[in-house]
Chains A and B, each alone.
Chain A
């Protein structure tokens, strides 16, 4: 479904992403792991068009999407949530999701009919799926951190994506919030059939929900493989455990 080959990006000579490759098949959940500063977020930014790569290719569903603008990438069916909460602070929770649905339905050029006539059922459905129905009328600034992270995902779902990129979805969540969030990700995969690419520091989550894992160090792909392949890969252990030969986890 998504094929990333030899993607590179430098900032002032620092190679943030260097020759990274990644493949995601239809219906898979793929995790990207790596130490801080390995270039995971930059990789996501490159795929979604926030920044343009210096070299390499991103192919989605057989079509080259390298260097497209973010809104064009989104319209191809790729949605994304952010590591740092990135919502619409003055809009209500409902409106946050609604604007995303409206955008996908290409209603944003409709000037005269009231918004309240559009996208309501679908927005309510999404809020129900992620469990934010009760706080629909609150402004997003009034939510707890965990709820805001869920709202992040809900906004991304507004685009009815085939492919969802989650940048550390559980960062900063309490244990209960984390387990609810994991359930949500599982549901997205199983019930809605969404293909998911995510990055995460919590190895327990990574190994419990992903089909395959890609490991990044210093901007480059070390390995991409199943959980077991990754667990026993020598280079991964070097990167994480300083060369000890104990299997991860």
Chain B
């Protein structure tokens, strides 16, 4: 990789960030809200892809950590008199701990069995949250979580989301490029061989699952900031399915794929839901089209297209 290419890439990143920072200046409140939701959903999908696309782990119920982060944050703010900022740390930590525990149980299983067990354990967590009225508010969820003044306005919430998402995306990127990330991708490609070269596969995966849980939790905490509510269906398994679809749609082998996928899904959901109640039908059709025509996702397709063009020149 040449230096000029690197510089070019950082230019792109800076330009994108500048545009995102200017969003509230020229966009309506609704679109700012939508942009914040896209960012945090994209972060959640990226954290899933950390283990799915880079780790080769079939994490089928990632929304549990998203929900755990949100509930952890909201309950911490509501139930204790401590600083709300502490809630934003506790939420992701709770999610990471949950990621560790569920990972510990599931990691000895491989591929589909991992996914199935994970869905069951995640559904268990969902059921507890759904039923425990006295503590979690049950299926009513929690509304009107009191936030610090600086982030309680729509624009404040948006900027907070943008900053936290950018930092998280950067950290996850660094982790993928680190020796840890190299080993993780080795495990994805060939767990048997990874073990033969001295990698403790299960332990490596467990740490990855904990990290993924943490950043899923960060996304959940951001949802509390943007939407001011939490509800059990945040961690219903269909949400996890949507997250997986985001990764596949955007391209699970490219770092920004899940973010792109999240943007497409959130936008489509917002607009199609306005037209028809059968949003799931549209989602199913999109999924089929992706599998048939874009097996490497939107970014995977673009990548191949650009390379072809570069070679033709």
Contacts and interface: CB of A to CB of B under 8 A. Distances in A.
Interface of A: 48, 50, 69-71, 74-75, 79-80, 82, 86-91, 95, 98-100, 102-104, 107-116, 118-119, 155-156, 158-159
Nearest to B204: A108
Interface in B163-204: 174-175, 177-183, 185-186, 188-190, 192-201, 204
A109 B180 CA distance: 5
A108 B183 contact: yes
A104 B179 CA distance: 12
A110 B198 CA distance: 15
28 contacts: A71-B196, A71-B198, A74-B195, A74-B198, A82-B193, A86-B190, A86-B193, A87-B189, A87-B190, A89-B190, A90-B185, A90-B253, A91-B186, A91-B189, A98-B182, A99-B185, A103-B199, A111-B174, A111-B178, A112-B175, A113-B178, A114-B177, A114-B178, A118-B179, A119-B179, A155-B197, A158-B197, A159-B197
Query: Which residue among A103, A104, A107, A116 has the maximum number of chain B CB atoms within 10 Å of its CB?
Result: A103
Given A112-B174, A115-B181, 16 more contacts: A50-B192, A69-B195, A71-B199, A80-B196, A87-B189, A90-B189, A95-B185, A99-B186, A100-B198, A108-B179, A108-B182, A109-B179, A111-B180, A114-B174, A115-B179, A159-B197
Interface in B106-155: none
Contacts of A114: 174, 177-178
Contacts of A50: 192, 196
Interface of B: 174-175, 177-183, 185-186, 188-190, 192-201, 204, 207, 253
A75 B181 CA distance: 20
A86 to B, nearest CB: 5
A68 to B, nearest CB: 11
A71 B201 contact: yes
A88 B185 contact: yes
A167 B253 CA distance: 32
Contact of B195 (A71, A95, A156): A71
Nearest to A75: B198
Nearest to B188: A90
Given A90-B189, A114-B174, A115-B177, A99 B200 contact: no
B203 to A, nearest CB: 9
Contact of B179 (A69, A91, A113): A113
A223 B175 CA distance: 52
B193 A155 contact: yes
Contacts of B204: 108
B183 A99 contact: yes
B179 A88 contact: no
B64 to A, nearest CB: 23
Nearest to A95: B182
A115 B198 contact: no
B196 A74 contact: yes
A114 B207 CA distance: 18
B186 A115 contact: no
Contacts of A108: 179-180, 182-183, 199, 204
Which of B194, B196, B207 has the largest count of A CB atoms less than 10 A from its CB? B196
A69 B190 CA distance: 16
A74 B182 contact: no
Contacts of B194: 99, 103
Nearest to B201: A71
A246 B153 CA distance: 93
A118 B181 CA distance: 13
A79 B193 CA distance: 11
A152 to B, nearest CB: 9
Contacts of A119: 179
B51 to A, nearest CB: 14
Contacts of A79: 196-197
A113 B204 CA distance: 17
B182 A115 contact: yes
Of A74, A104, A108, A112, most buried by chain B (CB within 10 Å of CB) is: A108
Closest 4 CB pairs of A and B: A74-B198, A88-B189, A108-B183, A107-B179
